[in-house]
Amino acid sequence: MRPIGFSTGALALSDFRQALAMLKEKPVNAIELSSLRKYELPHLVEAFGTLDLSRYEYISVHAPSSFSEDEEMNIVDQLRRFVPYGWPIVLHPDAIHRFELWSEFGNLLCIENMDKRKPIGRTVIELETIFSKLPEALFCFDIAHARQVDSSMTEAYRILKAFGNRLRQLHISEVNTSSKHDRISQGAIRAFKEVAHLIPQTVPAILETPVGEAYIEEELKRAMDSLAPGKIAAG
């Protein structure tokens, strides 16, 4: 069975402890500790050793999505704290200023494909440029970003065929026209099913859908339905 869970930032913005509490009784076995905003990272670094993460088969950390070149070295220094644990570090390629700083993470670095707002990382060609500079890096496939860039799912198919050998983690949600993460619709489920056969069951799925605690299990079901090739579930 596929490891599945949530990004803490989707459930409780900037409050990873609250997000973990919301998931305590839920059927999840994967977690992404989010520090998407740079001010969140020091708090996560300070606290992660005190968190009970024993139930999770898969744990990753999302690096900040924006920082200046002057701040980059400090961001890397803080993220080094997670290396001994072997947790993948998810990184937006447009955040990178100096590729040599990130190369030290080797195959713990997971480059994520981007939405249409971003200048790079959206297509196979753009991702090839990134991976040529970070040859050991693995890949976090954001299926909703790919659908927003190309609603036909052709680019999603091309990305998975090109980088399937690097695939380490999946981000799943719906991305609306404002490039905001949203709950998974029936339209998204239909679209995601078109490429689900290219995503091995061993690849962990991390939901980025902003839902309240009462809707967590419903959203997990929608995510699993969208990743199961074949008939679309009612609902």
Contact (Cβ atoms closer than 8 angstroms) between residue 163 and residue 215: no
User: How do the pLDDT tens digits run along the chain, 235 residues long?
Assistant: 899 999 999 999 899 999 999 999 999 999 999 999 999 999 999 999 999 999 999 999 999 999 999 999 999 999 999 999 999 999 999 999 999 999 999 999 999 999 999 999 999 999 999 999 999 999 999 999 999 999 999 999 999 999 999 999 999 999 887 778 889 999 999 999 999 999 999 999 999 999 999 999 999 999 999 999 764 444 4
In this structure, the strands spanning 89-91 and 138-142 are unpaired
Distance of CA 129 to the CA centre of its chain: 20
Q: Which amino acid is at 215?
A: Y
Q: Look at residue 40 and tell me if it is in a domain.
A: yes
Element (H, E) at 84: none
Is the residue at 234 inside a domain?
Answer: no
Strand, coil or helix: 140: strand
Q: What is the pLDDT of residues 73-95, one digit of tens each?
A: 999 999 999 999 999 999 999 99
* 233 belongs to a structural domain: no
**Contact in structure between 27 and 3 (CB atoms under 8 Å):** no
| Cα–Cα distance for residue pair 95/63, rounded to 1 Å | 9
93 in a structural domain: yes
pLDDT digits (tens, 9 = 90+) for 82-140: 999 999 999 999 999 999 999 999 999 999 999 999 999 999 999 999 999 999 999 99
| Residue 231 is assigned to a structural domain of this protein | no
Considering the domain boundaries, does residue 235 fall inside one?
no
**What are the backbone angles phi and psi of residue 110, rounded to the nearest 5°?**
-115, 110
What is the pTM assigned to this prediction?
A: 0.95
Residue 174 lies in a domain: yes
Let me know if residue 92 belongs to a domain.
yes
State the CATH number of the domain containing residue 175.
3.20.20.150
Burial bucket for residue 160 (CB in 10 Å: 0-12, 13-18, 19+): buried
Number of domains in the chain: 1
* 214: containing domain: 4-226
Integer Cα distance of 81 and 87 in angstroms: 10
Q: Quick check: 11 and 33 in contact, CB under 8 A?
A: no
| Distance separating alpha carbons of residues 154 and 170, to the nearest angstrom | 17
